[in-house]
A and B are shown apart, each in its own frame.
Chain A
Amino acid sequence: MKCYIGIDLGSTTTKAVLMDADKQVLGQGITNSRSNYDTAAAVSKQEAIIGTRFTLAHRALKEHGAVNGSTDEFLNDLERSFRMEQYLEQLEDLENTCENYVTGPRFAGMEKDIGTALQEIFKQLADEAPPMFARGAERKSEFFRDIAGGRFMSIAEDAADSSSLPFDLLLNVYDKSIIEVENRPPAGDLAGKFGRALDHIIEQSSEMELQHEKIMEPLKEAIAVELEETYVVGTGYGRVRLPFPKEHIRSEILCHGLGAHIMYPNTRTVLDIGGQDTKAIQVDGRGIVENFQMNDRCAAGCGRYLGYIADEMNIGVHELGPLASKSTKVTKINSTCTVFAGAELRDRLALGEKREDVLAGLHRAIILRAMSIISRSGGITDQFTFTGGVANNNAAVKELKKLVEENYGKVTINIDPDSIYTGALGAAEFARRAAMEGDIEIQGEAA
C-alpha cells in the first residue's frame, strides 16, 4: 500500500507520522533526536512503521474476530512482547559493540577480565528484561538509551566493586558504544521480531494456543502488507540537515499549521511552545498559514525555561505543573529570562514565598510571554489550538485558558494529548499532497 510519511526533527525528539492515501494516520513514532539526524529520522520512521503494522494487525484481527477477549489487550501484550524483542536485540548490539572497544593500551592485561565482566553485566540486563516489559510494569522512558543506560551504570558499578576492575574503564566502553549503537541505523527484520513476540505470548497463554492458526493467518497478512514509502516530507528544527532533497522539506510553521488544521479543522490560531521556541501561527480555513510569529532571538519563556527551573529546584520537569497547581496565591514573576529566572526564583524563596506559588507565577510568566507572541501574530479570533510539550502541563494550560478568555473572550481551546505529533502530521499530509499533485492537476484540468 502507498504510505505518506512526515518526519519532524525537533531539538529534543524526532517524530514521524505515517498516513495512507485516505488521509488516515496509521502509525506514529518518536525517538530522541541525538546528534545524528539521519538515524533519528530513520528510527522514528521505523517506529511509525511498527505502529502501522499494529494498526493493520488490529484491523485484521477485528475483521476476523480472531482473538478471544479483547483484541486491544492481545495487541497490548503483543506490543510489549515486541518491544522486549527490540530491546534484547539492541542490548545484543550494545554488548557486541562494547566488546570491540575492549582494546588498546588502557586495557592492556585486563581484556579478559573486562570481557567477563561485560558478559555478566549484559546477562543481568537481559534477565531483567521480562519483568520490565511485563503487564502493568512502568518504564521511565521508551528510549533505549534511557532504559539501558541507567541499569548499566548501577550493575557495572557493582561488577567493578566485586571484581576490583576500574569502573571508569567500563563506563568508557559504554559511553563510546552507546553513541555508536544509537547512531547506527535501526535493525530490520521486523517480521522476525513480530514472530518471536507472538511466540512469547503464545507460550505464556494456554488459551491463545488454541487460536494459534486463527491469529497467525491475519497477523501474517498484516505483517506481509507491503508498506511503500511513497513520499516522505521532513520538517523541524534540524531539517536543514535532513537526508532529503530540498523539495521534500517543508517549514515547521507550514507543517504545524496544517497539522493543527487536520486535528481541528476550525482552528484559526495555533500556539506551540517547544523546547527552543514558541510560535504563534494563524491559519485559514484550509490550513494555509496566513501569518506567524516566533519568539525573538531571546528564547525567554520557551520549554527550556521550565527545564531550567526544574533543575534549579531539583525536581523533574513533569513535576512542575502538578506542584504549581497546588498554589493558592500566584506570585508575580516578572522575568521570563532564563538567565535571571534562577536568581528570581531563589530571591522569592528566600523571601519566604511558597514553592507552589512561585512556580505558579513562573508558569504564568511563560504564558504571558506566549500571549505577547500571539498578539504579535494577530491575536485570537476563533478556535485556538495549543500544542508542544508545555501543552501537557496543567498549570500552564490553566493560565493560558484564563488569559485567552480575559483577552479574547470565550473561544474553543483545543489541546490534543498527541499534540507532539502536530508537525509530523502536517508533514505527512504535505507528502500525501505532493504525491497526489499530478492527479489533482489532471482533475483540475478536467474541471
Chain B
Amino acid sequence: MPVQEIIQRCEELFEDLSFSSVRAWKEAEPGRKVVGYMPIYVPLEIIHAAGMLPLGILGGGDALEVIHGDAYYQSYICRIPRSTVELGVTKRLDFVDGMLFPSICDVIRNLSGIWKLMFPDVYTRYFDTPQNFRSDIGGEFYVNDLRELVSGLENLGGRKISDDDLRASIEVYNESRRWVRKVYQFRSEQPWKVPASEVYLLMRAGQTLPVEDHTQMMKDYLAAVENEDRRMKDNCRVIVNGSFCEQPPLGLIKSIELAGCYIVDDDYMMINRLITEDVESEGDHLLNLSEAFIKHSMAFPSKFEPNGEVQGHYLADIVKQRGAEGVIFAAPSFCDPALLDQPMLANVLDERKIPYIAFQFAENSGQMQPIREQAGTFADSIKLWSAA
C-alpha cells in the first residue's frame, strides 16, 4: 500500500470527530463494547482482553467549536477537558460504554467525576497508577487496582476475562509496541523519509483502530516509506516535549518541520510506547502488567522520580540517545504537569549545554506564524552553533 493511501486513511480517522470507524466496529457484532481512555496511560491489554475496543480520547482538536464545554471550565483551565465534554454533550461519544481517566493531573482526575455526574450510565473509572515503585508496596497496590479494573470490565462486558485472554492481549500489545519502537527508531535514523506529521497521524490512528489493524498499518507504512524518494534536507534534529496530553494542531507539528527541524523524538501519544520492554506473558498477568509499569515505563511528569539525583535527566538522556541537537518545549497552556516539569528539565539541559526553546499552544491554536518564526530561528541558531 502506498504511503499516501495509508496517511490518507490516518487523516480520515484523525478528522472524524464522530468516530464512525469505531461505531462501525461496535455495530459489526452485537454486544461489542467500546472503552474510552484519556492520556497518559492505561493498560490497554485489559480492555482488549475483555473483547472491547479501546478508544483514545484526545480532545476535539482545532476543528471542533466548543460551546457547551466552555460552560464547564474556567478560562485558566486547559482546553482538552472542555472539548472532551463538548464531544460528550454533543453525543459524539454516545456509543462509548466505559471511560477511563488516568492519574495525569487534577483536571483529568476531576473530569472523571464530571463524567460520572453527566453520564451516569457509562462505566467511568478514575485509574490510578502507583507513585511508589517497590513491587511489594506500589506494585501490590497496582495489582489490586488492576484487579478492580478487570472486574469492572467483566461486569460491563458480562463475561469473565480469562488468563488466556490476558496472555493473548499482552502478546498483541507487545507486538504493537515493538512496531511503534521501530517506527520511532526509523524516523530517528532517517527523519527525511518519515515526516513528523506522518508519524503523528500513524500513531494517532492507533487510538481508534483495533490494535491488530494498527500494527499491520505500521508494518505497511514502514515497508512503503522505505521506497519513497524523499530527499534529505539541511534540517536540525530536535526533540519535542510537553505535548503528552492535550494535542497540538497538526499544523503546529508541520510548522516545526517546515521551519527546518526534524522531530526525532516526541511525547505525543505516549500510551503507544510508555512500556519500554515486552511485558512478560507467562505467569500472573496482572502482576506482569504491574511490574512492567513499575520497572519498565518511561519517565513522564506525572510520575514521581524517587531518585533526586536523576530528576529531570530523562529528556537530556533522550537527546543523547537520539543524537538530537536541541529541544522544543511545546506545552499546552495551563498544563500543570508539563509546565511544572519544564524548569527541572531545562536545568539539566542547561547543565549539558543543550539548547532549547519553549512556547505554548492550545489544541485550537490558530497562529502558526510565531511558531514558525521561533522554530526557524532556533534551527538557524543550532546550525550556526554547530558550524562554529
Q: Do chains A and B touch in the complex (CB under 8 A)?
A: yes
Q: Which residue of B lies closest to A348 (CB)?
A: B366
Contacts of B76 in A (CB 8 A): 298
Contacts of B70 in A (CB 8 A): 369, 372, 375-376
Inside 8 A of B68's CB, which chain A residues have their CB?
Answer: 372, 375, 407
The interface size of chain A toward B, counting residues with CB under 8 Å, comes to 24
Q: Judging by beta carbons under 8 Å apart, are A333 and B67 in contact?
A: no
Q: A296-B75, A297-B75, A376-B71 are in contact. Are A340 and B367 (CB under 8 A)?
A: yes
Looking at chain A's contact residues, is the secondary structure mostly helix, strand, loop, or mixed?
Answer: helix
Partner of A300, one of B69, B75, B365: B75
Whether A154 is near chain B, meaning CB under 8 Å from some CB there, is no
Write out the residue numbers on chain B whose beta carbons fall within 8 Å of the beta carbon of A348: 366
Is A368 located at the chain interface by the 8 A CB criterion? yes
Expressed in whole angstroms, the minimum distance between the Cβ of A365 and any Cβ of chain B is: 9
Contact status A298-B71, CB under 8 Å: no
Complex contact B366–A368 (CB within 8 A): no
What are the interface flags for A17-58 relative to B under an 8 Å C-beta threshold, 1 for contact and 0 otherwise?
000000000000000000000000000000000000000000
**In the assembled complex, A440 has its CB within 8 A of some CB on chain B:** no
Measured CB to CB, the nearest residue on chain A to B90 is: A407
Contacts of A296 in B (CB 8 A): 74-75
For residues 324 through 350 of chain A, which have their beta carbon under 8 Å from a beta carbon of chain B? 332-335, 340, 343-344, 346-348, 350
Q: Tell me, yes or no, whether B307 is within 8 Å of chain A by CB.
A: no
B65 and A372 contacting across the interface, CB-CB below 8 Å: no
* Cβ B366 vs Cβ A332 within 8 A: yes
**Closest chain B CB from A279 CB (angstroms):** 14
Asked whether, in the complex, the Cβ of B71 is within 8 Å of the Cβ of A334, the reply is no
User: CB of B308 within 8 A of chain A?
Assistant: no
For window 352-377 of chain A, which residues contact chain B by CB distance below 8 Å? 368-369, 371-373, 375-376
At the interface, is chain B mostly helix, strand, loop or mixed? loop
8 A Cβ contacts from B42-75 to A: 62, 65-72, 74-75
Contact (A403, B370) CB under 8 Å given A298-B75, A300-B75, A334-B364: no
Q: Which residue of A lies closest to B72 (CB)?
A: A376
B162 part of interface (Cβ distance < 8 Å): no
Residue B368 lies at the interface, judged by CB distance under 8 Å to chain A: yes
Question: In the complex, are the beta carbons of B369 and A368 less than 8 A apart?
Answer: no
Tell me if A407 and B67 are in contact (CB < 8 A): yes
B362-377 at interface with A (beta carbon < 8 Å): 362, 364-370
B66 — which chain A residues lie within 8 A by C-beta?
368, 372
Q: In the complex, how many angstroms separate the beta carbon of B74 from the nearest chain A beta carbon?
A: 6
Contact digits for B181-197, partner A, Cβ 8 Å, 1 yes 0 no: 00000000000000000
Task: For the complex formed, measure the closest distance between the CB of A342 and the CB atoms of chain B, giving whole angstroms.
Answer: 10
Instruction: Check A344 against B366 for contact (C-beta < 8 Å).
Output: yes
User: Could you tell me the distance between the alpha carbons of A335 and B249 in the complex, rounded to whole angstroms?
Assistant: 14
**Contact string against A for B residues 346-388, beta-carbon threshold 8 Å, 1 for contact and 0 otherwise:** 0000000000000000101111111000000000000000000
A334 & B368 in contact (Cβ 8 Å cutoff): no
- Whole-angstrom distance between the alpha carbons of A372 and B71 in the complex? 5
Is B71 within 8 A of A375, CB to CB? yes
Residue-wise, chain A 358-398 has the 8 Å CB interface mask toward B (1 for contact) of 00000000001101110110000000000000000000000
Q: Known pairs A343-B369, A368-B67. 20 more at Cβ < 8 A?
A: A296-B75, A298-B75, A298-B76, A332-B366, A333-B366, A334-B365, A340-B367, A343-B370, A344-B366, A344-B367, A347-B368, A348-B366, A372-B67, A372-B69, A373-B71, A375-B68, A375-B70, A375-B71, A376-B70, A407-B67
Top 7 A-B residue pairs of the complex, sorted by shortest distance between their CB atoms: A372-B70, A375-B71, A376-B71, A298-B75, A334-B364, A334-B366, A347-B367
